[in-house]
Amino acid sequence: MKKIIIVCIAALTAITSFGQKVFTKTAEVYFDATSPSSPEKIEGINRSGTCVIDTKNGNMQFVALMKGFAFERALMEEHFNENYVESHKYPKAEFKGDLKNIDKVDFTKDGTYTLKVKGVLSLHGESKELETEAKFIVQNGNIKASTAFSVQLSDFKISIPGLVADKLSKTAKVGINCSLQSLKTNP
Amino acid sequence: MDRSEYAKQLKSITVKKKKILQYIVLPIVLIIGAIAIYFYKEYNRTHKDVSDLNADYAVTATNLLNEFESNEQSSNKKYWDKVIEVEGIAKDLVKDAKGFYTIVLGDPETMSAVRCSIDSAHNNEANSITKGKNIKIKGICSGFNSDELLGSDVVLVRSVVQSTN
């Protein structure tokens, strides 16, 4: 009897363990806004990005708290928060969009897929359409996702003072890495 | 102009030069030097270790989450960028692919939590915590995010484990 129950539970979890949604709360977001002529790196990294993806229809959402970006130099981090992204006024960066052709991805089998992503990125009180590609690697039941894109600072009304214009690039390169787990929702 | 007068004049010029050097040039050099040192230090300043900072607020994870859930804006004003000490049950200890730790505090029955990114200089203390125990963590509040599926999260950065009792 016990065995039957265990088998039943195992079978049930096998079915439900791959839910309709996958998520992470420890996505790594990296950005680099170093201009080619700058002697020092202007880069920040955030390791607590939140991402949720609906594996049925491709809807996705990504949120990163601006204050969560860590810089090597304390002064640079203060300038980033206070002068550039004004994170006290606009604490979040948010992306809402769709992954195209997500139905082609088999999350239960090992494989690598590249999908188009289209959506709207909001930060610093401004919103802008964004189109990029995301790579999914499924391996031993683990899902790793990564993407990279460029952000034009002027699109988000982030102004660059003349003093640092030669160091700070007008576009920031952004990279995201995360491993996703399936969301167990209560029926 | 005879020789002795010429010598006198020469002397007074060198005295004047000395005075200029002593009262004008030297202070200017000193001031510029001080400014340069200040900027150099300010530029190379590293982050303060949160364990050396006093907490602005001490709260429980549940109360902090409730406060943010009832009013995100006023709570952001109160807690954002502040050093806070949060007490709660260590729900989870997450180590990411690059070896960075996050301690998740809060009620194990809910998805909501206070997520504390651990200062990598304090990884050892983080690694030695026991899941399910009540602990205290000090960190800098970086904000709040709420999702109907994923629950609500308050995120602390540069956190350190304060006590494990």
Which class for A60: exposed (0-12), middle (13-18), buried (19 or more C-beta within 10 A)?
buried
Question: What does the pLDDT look like over B25-63, one tens digit per residue?
Answer: 889 999 999 999 999 998 888 888 999 999 999 999 999
pLDDT band at residue A119 using 50, 70 and 90 as cut-offs: very high
CB-CB contact of B79 with B118 (8 Å): no
Q: Which of A22, A28, A54, A67 to mutate to test the interface with B (most CBs of B within 10 A)?
A: A67
Measured from the Cβ of residue B53, the count of other Cβ atoms closer than 10 Å reads 14
Please choose, from the candidates A78, A47, A179, A76, the residue with its C-alpha nearest in 3D space to the C-alpha of residue B158: A47
The alpha carbon of residue A151 is apart from the nearest alpha carbon of chain B, in Å, by 23
pLDDT of B21 reads 82
Question: What does the pLDDT look like over B5-29, one tens digit per residue?
Answer: 888 888 888 888 888 888 888 899 9
Stretch A71-75: mean pLDDT: 91
Q: Is the pLDDT of residue A178 over 90?
A: yes
| Cα A131 to Cα A134: distance, rounded to the nearest angstrom | 10
**What's CA A101's distance to the chain center, in Å?**
19
| Cα A8 to Cα B155: distance, rounded to the nearest angstrom | 38
Stretch B98-110: mean pLDDT: 92
Amino acid at A100: K
Q: Is the pLDDT of residue B108 over 70?
A: yes
pLDDT band at residue A187 using 50, 70 and 90 as cut-offs: very low
The alpha carbon of residue A119 is apart from the nearest alpha carbon of chain B, in Å, by 18
Question: What does the pLDDT look like over A75-94, one tens digit per residue?
Answer: 999 999 998 999 999 999 99
Taking CA A98 as the corner, what is the angle to CA A92 and CA A101, rounded to the nearest 5 degrees?
150
What is the per-residue DSSP string for B63-89? Answer: HHHHHHHH-HHHHHHHHTT-EEEEEEE
Q: Given an 8 Å threshold on Cβ–Cβ distance, is B155 in contact with A70? A: no
Question: What does the pLDDT look like over A51-60, one tens digit per residue?
Answer: 999 999 999 9
CA dihedral over A137, A140, A143, A144, signed as positive or negative: negative
Measured from the Cβ of residue B16, the count of other Cβ atoms closer than 10 Å reads 10
pLDDT of B24 reads 86
DSSP-based three-state secondary structure for B161: strand
Nearest CB to B102; choose among A26, A66, A77: A26
Assess: ipTM above 0.90: no
Instruction: Return mean pLDDT, chain B.
Output: 91
DSSP class of residue A70 equals B
Q: Is the pLDDT of residue B97 over 60?
A: yes
Please report, for chain A, the start and end positions of each structural domain, with discontinuous segments joined by +.
19-182
Helix axes of B61-70 and B72-79: crossing angle, nearest 10 degrees: 130
CA dihedral over B18, B21, B26, B29, signed as positive or negative: negative
Task: Identify the closest residue of chain A to B95 by CA–CA distance.
Answer: A26
pLDDT of B59 reads 96
A68-72, B6-10, B84-88, range with the lowest pLDDT:
B6-10
Superfamily holding A19-182: Lipid/polyisoprenoid-binding, YceI-like (2.40.128.110)
